Amino acid sequence: MRKKCSCKLLKLLGKLLGKVALIGLIGFVLTFALYITNGENKLIYYVIRPWLNKHYDSQVRDRKV
């Protein structure tokens, strides 16, 4: 009886490790594609920077520079 329980546990552990490995591989491929296409800089330039400019331009200033 104990051997069956151990076998089920190993199968469950194998499935779990397989899913974790698959998620890790997909994550690696996505981040590698982002790196190759220089996507992080494009994201910063076209999305984050305009948002920050809009945010800081709307603030009230105490002094003029």
Under 8 Å between Cβ of 34 and 40: yes
**22 within a domain of the structure (yes/no):** yes
Cβ neighbours, 10 Å, residue 54: 9
- Residue 64 pLDDT: 76
**25 within a domain of the structure (yes/no):** yes
pLDDT single digits (tens) 14-65 = 999 999 999 999 999 999 999 999 999 998 999 999 999 999 988 888 887 7
pTM > 0.95: yes or no: no
**17 within a domain of the structure (yes/no):** yes
Task: Tell me whether residue 62 is exposed, middle or buried, using C-beta atoms within 10 angstroms of its C-beta: 0 to 12, 13 to 18, 19 or more.
Answer: exposed
- Residue 18 pLDDT: 96
Higher pLDDT, 23 or 9: 23
**24 within a domain of the structure (yes/no):** yes
**62 within a domain of the structure (yes/no):** no
Which structural domain range is residue 30 located in?
2-57
CA distance 48 to 52: 6
Q: How far is CA 2 from the centre of its chain?
A: 41
